[in-house]
Structure 1
Amino acid sequence: MKKLKKVLVLIGLIVTFGGMSQAVSANEFNFSVTPVRPENQIGDSGYFNLQMAPGQSQVLTVTLTNSTEKTVVVEESIASATTNINGVIEYSPNKIKADKSLKYNISDYAKMPAEITLTPKSTQQVKVEVTMPNEPFSGVIAGGITFKEKGSDEASSKSKGISIQNKYAYVVALLMQQDPTPVAPDLKLMSVVPGQVNYRNVVNANLQNPNAGYLNQMYVQATVKGLSNTKLSYTVDKEMMQMAPNTNFDYPISIGEGKRIEAGKYQLEMTVYGQKSDNGKYTYKDAQGKEQKFDYQWQFTKEFTISGQTAKKLNAKDVTIKPEPWYKNWLIWAGIILVLLALFFLFFLLWKRRKDDEEDEIEGTETETLQSQIEAIKEQLKD
């Protein structure tokens, strides 16, 4: 039976530094989540955005309400903000590795119970203890608090041999900073390597924001050109992406459905714009000639090589690539040639053996004839 895991994360409060979107409908939940804004809250936001002094500790409050007739157990966790492959910030726990530039992981500076039990028709307050690092720093420590009903990911539905698993969670963003003045983001190109997304060949350009500031409204223009084969060129442009502070992510450049990735040398050319602004000093014109202005711009050029072994492995795993016809497979041709050579060699051995036998037979016959003649001559001489 095929299994398909469908993850549905309903985010109660989603943060974009300098702006946010409110909760969507939460009909799938058996409980609700309401953060209680403290006095040191920055702005009138629906998530925690705290201004704290070095070494300061405080307790935050989140109200959980169970409006159902059954007992609900809620699991709770805290995770540092990350950026996923789509250029979307995630505030819930995931498998994305922390970036090397992350000095303060919010999970080390915030504590809360692992789970809480809500009796039917009840309300409880969850206490979250947060502590600001002792040393002064500029920027923001970003993360999120996740609330998930225990066992909610165990319920699944089955249809036509496909198992669909649903997960629902509230995520409340948690930001901590000592100075509300935003820190400018930065961008670095860390690596360019071939890879796969959903079993399809891509070239991954890893981008890093090593600063403790959000990079908003990213617009990326990226082109990979073949140097060994100048006919190869792949371009992927994408806008309205975002990066969390001190994170990195792979920007995938697709080579196209059904296309084989070739071994050889390549060059990546990339331009990244950030933070739209009417007064931005960097201007981009789209295909319709409309101008967009940005506060930030980065340009990267990097050469890289794809080995034959790597290309072979990736092509074998790409689900969109059809197997090559047998007559294009050099291994088959090599096998055919080897078989023909073996047959020719065997034929030659049989032919040579037969020829040698015939020569031996002729030589033996001639010897017998000569011997008979000699014997006849001897008899005549006797007479």
Structure 2
Amino acid sequence: MKKFGMWLAVLLFAMLILPQNGQASKFNFAVDTVLPDNQIDKQKTYFNLKMKPNQEQTLTIKLRNDTDSPVVINPEIHSATTNRNGVVEYGKSSAKRDSSLSHEMNELIKVKKEITVPAKGSYNLLLEVKMPEKAYDGILAGGITLEEKQTKKSKQDKSEGLQIENKYAYVVGITLQENDSKVKQDLKLKKVAPNQVNARNVIEATLQNPTATYLNRFEVDAVITKKGKDEALYKSKKEGMQVAPNSHFAYPVPLNGEKMKPGKYTLHLKAKSSKESWNFTKDFTIKPEEADKFNAKDVSIKEPNYFWWYVAGIAFLLLAILLGFILWRRKKKREQEQETND
């Protein structure tokens, strides 16, 4: 079969507000959470639980398959992270564990790695939760991803050159807390460094929420100047973000198609949530090799068009040659006329 490129259709359905009847529509299976008695907010359809230190509890998610074939699902537990857009993710992420996170969600919740929901049948997926022995204040946030296993047909298609991969997954949010104590919010600026996002140059400011609470209605106002100068070279402002508990993310300040230039710079960053505000100033350096590396890969940089300069240069050169030839011919003619007269 003729290969016509790679098309990745990824459908990630965020199940933080899960329909109670488990709409299946574009999925081969449906999901319903069974909310326990220690659910804090009964109106929420994800797990929002109040627990005790060292408490053990079994949670249930009902899976339903209305198709004529068995559905194999691979459940995975993940801690909540924050992406560079300031959006909390409860599923699989490339983000590294934050240094302030005391417990990964998959350390506290165990689930089978693979289960099968029979055709026209159902399956009760059990999540075994065991809380840490030591009491803590704040929220542990994460989720369970329920992704259908790749079928033999899709593998066969890929081997024949048809590189189309459809992935369907539900993500059910999970938050665990032991009390109603309010955790004072904090924010740290960990580092500033050049990078690229979607093959475009940016300066990234890594912001960390080291506290076990969400930073809601989070916003950032960032300005970059030359070190010791006041003139703003690059700016970025964004509102309506959210930062997960004990997580970090790299906030990008775009260079808007300009070439990255080596030198010493200063980041001036203001940030605030619904409850707190912060101000940061941090110097950073862009090395020549870094600038060269990123500039070579930036698709938004418009190189100067020297075509007409080349045309003008060649035309000038031809004109000079022609003029020289004309002058030489005239000189030669005068010399011949002088010889004839003599």
User: Normalized against structure 1, the TM-score is what?
Assistant: 0.72
| Amino acid in the other structure paired with 2:29 | F
In structure 2, the residue matched to 1:104 is 103
Question: Measured at CA, do residues 318 and 22 of structure 1 come closer, stay the same or move farther in structure 2, by a change above 3 Å?
Answer: farther
Match 2:296 to one of 298, 305, 316: 316
- Cα distance in 1 for partners of 2:6, 2:229 equals 40
- Cα distance in 1 for partners of 2:200, 2:286 equals 16
Question: Measured at CA, do residues 23 and 306 of structure 1 come closer, stay the same or move farther in structure 2, by a change above 3 Å?
Answer: farther
User: Which consecutive unaligned segments of at least 5 residues does structure 2 have?
Assistant: 308-342
In structure 2, the residue matched to 1:301 is 281
> What are the Cα deviations for residues 226-248 of structure 1, in whole angstroms up to 9, with x where unaligned?
23887661111111111111100
In structure 1, the residue matched to 2:172 is 172
Correspondence 1:273-352 to 2 at 5 A: 273-275=272-274, 295-323=275-303
Percent identity between matched residues is 43
In structure 1, the residue matched to 2:16 is 13
User: Quick check: 1:12–1:22 contact (8 Å CA) kept in 2?
Assistant: no
- Cα distance in 2 for partners of 1:13, 1:213 equals 17
- Cα distance in 2 for partners of 1:154, 1:133 equals 43
C-alpha displacement of 1:273: 1.4
Correspondence 1:227-242 to 2 at 5 A: 227=227, 233-242=233-242
Task: Count residues in correspondence.
Answer: 300
C-alpha displacement of 1:13: 2.3
- Cα distance in 2 for partners of 1:57, 1:308 equals 55
In structure 1, the residue matched to 2:197 is 197
C-alpha displacement of 1:27: 1.8
In structure 2, the residue matched to 1:38 is 36
Correspondence 1:42-57 to 2 at 5 A: 42-44=40-42, 45-57=44-56
C-alpha displacement of 1:185: 2.4
| Bigger relative CO (Cα 8 Å, ≥ 6 apart) | 2
Question: Measured at CA, do residues 22 and 298 of structure 1 come closer, stay the same or move farther in structure 2, by a change above 3 Å?
Answer: farther
User: Normalized against structure 2, the TM-score is what?
Assistant: 0.81
- Cα distance in 1 for partners of 2:293, 2:194 equals 11
> What are the Cα deviations for residues 64-97 of structure 1, in whole angstroms up to 9, with x where unaligned?
0011121111111101111111111111122110
Correspondence 1:92-131 to 2 at 5 A: 92-131=91-130
User: Quick check: 1:185–1:245 contact (8 Å CA) kept in 2?
Assistant: no
- Cα distance in 2 for partners of 1:21, 1:231 equals 51
In structure 2, the residue matched to 1:245 is 245
Residue 214 (structure 2) pairs with residue 211 (structure 1): no
CA-based RMSD: 2.7
Q: Give 3-state SS (helix, strand or coil) of 1:311's partner.
A: helix
| Amino acid in the other structure paired with 2:239 | E
> What are the Cα deviations for residues 123-176 of structure 1, in whole angstroms up to 9, with x where unaligned?
111110001100111011111011111117985999xx9955432211111111
Question: Measured at CA, do residues 199 and 4 of structure 1 come closer, stay the same or move farther in structure 2, by a change above 3 Å?
Answer: farther
- Cα distance in 1 for partners of 2:138, 2:153 equals 39
- Cα distance in 1 for partners of 2:152, 2:89 equals 19
Question: Measured at CA, do residues 314 and 232 of structure 1 come closer, stay the same or move farther in structure 2, by a change above 3 Å?
Answer: farther
